[in-house]
Structures are given as C-alpha cells and as structure tokens.
C-alpha cells in the first residue's frame, strides 16, 4: 500500500475526549474515527488489525471444532421475552419497532437465538456435542461508553455456544473453550489472568473471566501467590467450612428482635448508600449484593438480597434457573411470616448483562451453585461488601462496608491477596439448562427419552482486543504492534527526493511484496519531509521500518526495529531475509 494513495490522515494532537493511550493513539494514527459516543468507524489501518485479531480467534475456534455461523443483529422480541431478558436488559438494550409496530431489538448477546436454531434443526443425542460461534456486531447502550473502542455501544464480539447431552459433556466443552482462550490470549500477547467470576444463578458452577492486566481496566481482581485469582466481584472472603450452613435452621428458631430481616437490610443499604454517593454511577444497574448474616448464636448464614431499584423475580423464572426438584417452594409468605428467615439465593448476574437484577427472594444457596455456601458481596462497580450482622451493621442501622484489601489472606489460604486492575477480554460460562429449559431445547437420549440439553456460552471482545493490545503495545511515540497483529509487516520509507532514492525505494517495495510481505510504502514526495515520515511511521507502529536514504549509493538501507529502536544497516541483497 502506498501512503500517497492511502485513506489516512494522522493527527498531531490527542483527541480531546481521550483518557487512555489506546484511544489517543488509535485515533491519532488513523485506525478508528468517532461517529457518536461509543460508536466508531474503522479506517483501513484499523480494519487490518481487526481482521488479524479475528483470524487468530477463528483459527483457535476451528481448532476445537466450533463452526462459524452468523446471526443478524436485528432481532425480534419474542425469544427474549420467553427467557425474561427483554425486561432484564433494561436500558442497556437498543429497542426499536418495525413499520408494523412489532418490537425489535439490536442483539446484546445471542443465547436465545442459538438455542432456538439448534432446537429447530436437531433432535437427537447423536447430534451432540455441538459448538457454534460467530464474530458479529453487538449493541449495548452502555451507561458510560468509554475509551474509544474499549467500551463501545456498538462492538464486535466472538460469541460461541456449546450444546451437550450431559454435565460431563458440558465440562469437556467448557475445558476445550478454556484452552482455546488461553491460546488466543497468548497469541494476542496479553499479560492476562484467568479469574473466577460471578456465575450467579445460571445453574452452572463455573464462570471465569480472562482479564488483560492493565491499569486502565475497569475490573478489579485479586490474586495470591498460591494461585487464587478472582474478580473482586466474585471474591469469597470466608472459607466454606466456616459457615455451618446446616445449623442455620436452628439459628432461625432463636430469632431475637435484633435479628435482621431482609427489609431492614435493604433499608440499611438504602441509607448507607443514598443515590448521590453510591460507589457506582447513576444509570448503572446493580448486580446482586451477597451478604453474610451472623446470627445471635454466632452461626453465620449466607443470604443474598437485591438492592433498591431491582425488580423481583417471579417464581416461575426462579424455578427455571435452578434445578426444580431441589428448590423449596417459592412462597412469599414464608418470608413475610418469618422476619428472620433468610434463605439465600444468589442474585442472577444474568449472562453478559449489566442489567442483571438482584433478587430479593431467596432460596437455598446450595442449589444455586452446587456448594453450600455463599460469601462475599457484589455490586456493579467492583465494590465489595461483606456484611456480618452484629458487626457490620446493627439494629440501630449502621453498616460498615468492608472492602477486600491488599494483604488479606486469600479465601483458600494460599497467601496474601494482591489487588490489580484488568480489562475483561473474555468470559466463559457454564450456562447449564437455563436457556434450553426456557426455550424447550430437548433431544432424545439413548433410551428414547426427551432430555434437556446443557449449554455453555463463551465470549471474546474482538474490537475491544484491538484497543487492549494497543494498551500494552505502545510507547511515547506511538503504537508498537506485535508482528502477528500489525497492519503491515514492513513500513518502507523513502527518505529523500532525489531520483536515485525514489527509484531504489520502488525497487525495494516491489521486492518485499514479491517476497510475500505486507508493505506500507511511504512514497510521498513534495511537502512531506523525512522527519514527518519518520514520525508517522513511529505513530502507526508497524514493527519493522525500512529506510531507503543516502546509503543507497553504497547499496545499503537502514532497518529499524520499532519496539527497541535499534537500527541496522543492511545490504539490499540481504534485506528480504532480514525483515522476513
Ligand atoms: P464488561 O464487564 O466489560 O461490561 P461484560 O461482562 O458485560 O463486559 P460479556 O457479556 O461477558 O461482557 O461479553 C463478552 C465479552 O464482550 C466481554 O468479555 C468483553 O470482552 C466484550 N464486551 C462486552 N461489552 C463490551 C463493550 N461495550 N465494548 C466492547 N467489548 C465489550
Ligand atoms: Mg457489560
Ligand atoms: Mg463483566
Ligand atoms: Mg462478562
């Protein structure tokens, strides 16, 4: 590609709204261009990097046997109505009507439609396991679109879904995805961590996030020297055995007037965090708050409550989210008649949505996540509360929010916790049978019996990855792409106006292209000085810069490594070898 023809204007100044390096540099170097908040156009350079990220992802998805499909972004309401997400998504979803007045939406994620597609075409256990993926544009009306393409309102996601007949199958599919993700993030060059994430009430046990370690990240995670790693939203601060859950009913029997009720807890939270100074921003929808209650006899009990503004979840949906056989009947009167009866139910943290609603009504936490304990707390914005009745709040209404602090012992005893920030690059989820149940995806098993399929869902932020790579791949002069992601392999600069230099540069350009390299050739003549060309080359960030200048009379060009700054004179005859 010749710079003289390329659709590109580099900018000398940072865009006024840019807070983070990737945003600054991707705009200045001409990779993306803003259209509206959280909505960006991809320019030729940016599209090339995006395509390379996509290629890595496709290769790794194909390597685990996942097959590519593509759904529309424009979707009808009904399936989302059935799953409950039409309302769950709240203001995060872009809604519109077609000319006939039908409700439509722009898909924020596609669990429902993949479920329905498989239901449409498959009917037997022999068809499974199955894994499908797409690389597709998603829409979320984020409360705070931020940092250019790092958090867009339109963005590109790779989402995949696995379909299995049983739990062992789901485990295997999840594991295969996890390994593919490890390879993807290695190839993207990230310093990343895999952290335990909130799995909420999805009926599955495992949910993990891949976070690129970065100070500009919006997620906070903890890790210990012994290998514990969790999103701070998912930190368990009390060891499981410390909670004598089975004793809890006895504790209920000895209610004292001080024993907190859910209502008082909600009130306390309301008071503690008045709208104006909550540790999350207006417009955010809160996720669940998990709370540990300590009863007067010292026993502890996990509970979870929704916070003000949340909707309550009806019994029907609740049953769909946990194994029905194990759920105690959902009866509001239990709750009303026994002010101290707090049966824990982990709020949903509905898949892939920040619009997850907390759940005020509570069922047995053992059923929800396969263990008999729930600890920690979770509100949007990574603020952690772990409340213990009698210590953290009292009958007179004081609540102390206890944050997880650096140096705290890890819940599994694996050493002191370190806190750091990360960018969520990927999220893998054992969904279980939630969507299959809600939408009726069943197949015949070996015995001719209808069984509900179990699913996983797995996301990677594809457009976000371009920005997240730029977050680490830059210096004060500009971008510094790793070779596998760079828009070009070589940036060739003709440094000078005289005929000999230009002719030689043309020759080098042809030769490098002939050798199969992708070359960006700065052939601009006239007003563009060599200084400007060098500055642009540094800003654009192609890993190898070849300068054809005065040395050409001796048959020598300069090869510069963009990342180290190291310059070497190379004989023309050796050039292809030197830059390949
Ligand atoms: P976040 O916590 O950053 O809002 P999320 O948990 O809502 O992300 P998921 O629903 O898990 O996102 O979606 C899968 C992946 O899609 C995320 O891991 C992230 O990489 C990417 N992603 C989500 N929201 C955005 C966005 N607004 N812009 C760009 N990428 C996004
Ligand atoms: Mg989100
Ligand atoms: Mg997230
Ligand atoms: Mg996520």
* pLDDT tens string 35-46: 999 999 999 999
pLDDT digits (tens, 9 = 90+) for 493-515: 999 888 899 999 999 999 999 99
- pLDDT score for 558: 96
Query: Per-residue pLDDT tens for 116-175?
Result: 999 999 999 999 999 999 999 999 998 888 899 999 999 999 999 999 999 999 999 999
The mean pLDDT of 221-244, rounded to a whole number, is 64
Q: Give the pLDDT confidence score for residue 19 in this predicted structure.
A: 85
What is the per-residue pLDDT for 473?
A: 95
Q: Measured from the CB, is residue 107 less than 6 Å from ligand 1?
A: no
> 154 in helix, strand or coil?
strand
The Å distance, Cα 32 to ligand 4 centre, comes to 24
How many Å lie between the centroid of ligand 4 and the Cα of residue 539? 32
User: What are the backbone dihedrals phi and psi of residue 492, each rounded to the nearest 5 degrees, phi first?
Assistant: -100, 130
Task: Give the position, in ligand 1's atom list, of the atom nearest the Cα of 142.
Answer: 27
Asked if residue 110 has its Cβ within 6 Å of ligand 1, the reply is no
Strands, E, within 16-153: which ranges?
32-36, 39-42, 67-68, 74-76, 94-97, 103-106, 130-139
Closest CA to 359 of 371, 338, 374, 370: 374
Q: What percent of the chain has pLDDT over 90?
A: 55
Work out the average pLDDT over 253-274: 43
Judge if the beta carbon of residue 284 lies within 6 A of ligand 1: no
Better-predicted residue by pLDDT, 490 or 375: 490
C-beta 155 within 6 A of ligand 1: yes
The answer to whether the CB of 84 is under 6 A from ligand 1 is: no
Range of 180-184, 396-400, 494-498 with top mean pLDDT: 180-184
Nearest in space to 114 (alpha carbons), one of 126, 132, 127: 132
Residue 310 in contact with ligand 1 by CB distance below 6 A: no
CA dist 437 and 441 (Å) reads: 6
Residues 6+ apart with CB under 8 A from 308: 266, 269, 270
Q: For residues 230-248, b (16+ Cβ closer than 10 Å) or e, as one string?
A: bbbbbbbbbeeeebebeeb
Q: Name the phi and psi angles at 359, rounded to 5.
A: -120, 130
Ligand found nearest the CA of 151: 1
Decide if pLDDT at 302 tops 90.
no
Range 444-468 burial, b when 16+ CB lie within 10 A, else e: eeeeeeebbbbbbbbbbbbbbbbbb
Segment 455-483 shows an average pLDDT of: 96
Cα(220)–Cα(210) distance, rounded to whole angstroms? 12
In ligand 1, the atom with minimum distance to the C-alpha of 140 is 27
How far apart CA 347 and CA 202 sit, in angstroms, is 10
In this prediction, residue 16 carries a pLDDT of 86
The band of 235, judged by pLDDT with boundaries at 50, 70 and 90, is low
578: Cα separation from own chain's centroid: 39
Instruction: Locate the ligand 1 atom nearest the alpha carbon of residue 108 and give its number.
Output: 10
User: Taking 90 as the threshold, does the pLDDT of residue 266 lie above it?
Assistant: no
Per-residue pLDDT, averaged over 379-388, amounts to: 30
Cα–ligand 1 centroid distance for 558 (angstroms): 43
551 lines ligand 1 (CB under 6 A): no
> What average pLDDT does the segment 464-480 reach?
96
**38 CB under 6 A from ligand 1?**
no
Looking at 173-177, 379-383, 490-494, which range is the least confident one? 379-383
Q: Are 177 and 171 in contact (CB under 8 A)?
A: no
Please state the length of the chain: 580
User: Which of helix, strand or coil describes residue 307?
Assistant: coil
Choose the weakest-confidence range: 154-168, 287-301, 566-580: 287-301
Report residue 532's pLDDT band, with 50, 70 and 90 as the boundaries: very high
pTM of the model: 0.76
Question: Nearest ligand, CA of residue 457?
Answer: 1
By alpha-carbon position, which residue is closest to atom 8 of ligand 1? 424
Q: Which of 210, 464, 469 should be mutated for ligand 1, with most atoms under 8 A from CB? A: 464
Does a cis peptide bond (omega within 30 degrees of 0) precede residue 293? no
Does the structure show a pLDDT above 70 at 464?
Answer: yes
pLDDT band at 205 (very low <50, low <70, confident <90, very high): low
**Band (177; pLDDT cuts 50, 70, 90):** very high
Query: Has residue 322 got a pLDDT over 50?
Result: no
Give the least confident one: 86-90, 372-376, 483-487. Answer: 372-376
Higher-pLDDT residue of 275 and 454 is 454
Mean pLDDT for the chain overall:
75
Structure tokens at 423: 């960018």
Residue 388 has pLDDT above 70, yes or no: no
Q: Give the residues across from 544 on adjacent strands.
A: 490, 561
- Cβ atoms within 10 Å, residue 308: 15
């Amino acid at each position: 590609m010749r710079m003289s023809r390329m659709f590109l204007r580099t900018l000398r100044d940072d865009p006024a709204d840019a807070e983070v390096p990737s945003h600054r540099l991707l705009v200045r170097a001409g990779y993306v261009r803003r259209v509206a908040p959280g909505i960006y156009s991809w320019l030729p350079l940016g599209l090339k990097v995006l395509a390379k990220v996509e290629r890595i992802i496709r290769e790794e998805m194909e390597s685990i046997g996942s097959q590519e499909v593509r759904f529309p972004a424009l979707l009808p309401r009904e399936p989302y109505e059935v799953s409950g997400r039409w309302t769950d998504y709240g203001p995060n979803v872009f809604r519109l009507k077609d000319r006939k007045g039908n409700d439509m939406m722009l898909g924020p994620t596609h669990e429902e439609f993949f479920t329905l597609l498989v239901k449409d075409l498959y009917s037997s256990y022999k068809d499974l396991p199955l894994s499908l993926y797409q690389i597709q544009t998603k829409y979320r009306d984020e409360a705070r679109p931020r940092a250019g393409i790092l958090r867009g309102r339109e963005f590109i996601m790779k989402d995949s879904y696995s379909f299995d007949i049983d739990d062992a199958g789901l485990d295997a599919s999840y594991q295969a995805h996890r390994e593919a993700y490890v390879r993807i993030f290695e190839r993207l060059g990230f310093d990343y961590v895999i952290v335990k994430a909130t799995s909420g009430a999805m009926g599955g046990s495992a949910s993990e996030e891949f976070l690129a370690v970065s100070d500009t990240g919006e997620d906070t995670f903890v890790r210990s020297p012994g290998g514990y790693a969790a999103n701070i939203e998912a930190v368990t601060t009390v060891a499981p055995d410390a909670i004598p859950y089975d004793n809890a009913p006895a504790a209920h029997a000895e209610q004292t007037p001080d024993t907190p009720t859910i209502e008082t807890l909600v009130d306390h939270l309301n008071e503690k965090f008045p709208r104006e100074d909550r540790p999350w921003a207006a417009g955010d929808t809160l996720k669940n708050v998990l709370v540990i209650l300590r009863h007067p006899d010292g026993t502890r009990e996990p509970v979870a409550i929704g916070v003000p503004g949340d909707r309550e979840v009806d019994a029907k949906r609740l049953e769909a989210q946990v194994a029905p056989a194990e759920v105690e009947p959902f009866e509001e009167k239990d709750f009303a008649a026994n002010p101290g009866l707090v049966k824990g139910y982990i709020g949903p943290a509905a898949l892939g949505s920040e619009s997850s609603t907390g759940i005020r009504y509570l069922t047995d936490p053992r059923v929800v996540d396969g263990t008999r304990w729930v600890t920690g707390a979770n509100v949007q914005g990574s603020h952690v509360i772990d409340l213990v009745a009698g210590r953290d709040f009292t009958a007179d209404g004081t609540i102390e929010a206890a944050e997880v602090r650096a140096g705290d012992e890890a819940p599994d005893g694996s050493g002191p916790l370190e806190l750091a920030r990360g960018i969520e690059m990927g999220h893998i989820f054992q969904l279980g049978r939630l969507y299959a149940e809600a939408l009726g995806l069943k197949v015949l098993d070996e015995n001719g019996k209808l069984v509900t399929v179990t699913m996983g869902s797995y996301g990677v932020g594809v457009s976000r990855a371009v920005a997240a790579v730029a977050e680490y791949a830059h210096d004060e002069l500009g971008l510094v792409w790793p070779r596998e992601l760079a828009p070009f392999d070589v940036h060739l600069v003709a440094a000078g106006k005289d005929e000999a230099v230009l002719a030689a540069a043309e020759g080098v350009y042809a030769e490098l292209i002939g050798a199969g390299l992708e070359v960006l050739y700065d052939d601009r003549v006239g007003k563009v000085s060599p200084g400007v060309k060098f500055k642009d080359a540094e800003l654009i960030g192609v890993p190898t810069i070849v300068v054809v200048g005065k040395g050409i009379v001796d048959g020598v060009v300069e090869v510069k490594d963009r990342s180290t700054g190291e310059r070497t004179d190379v004989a023309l005859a050796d050039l292809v070898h030197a830059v390949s």
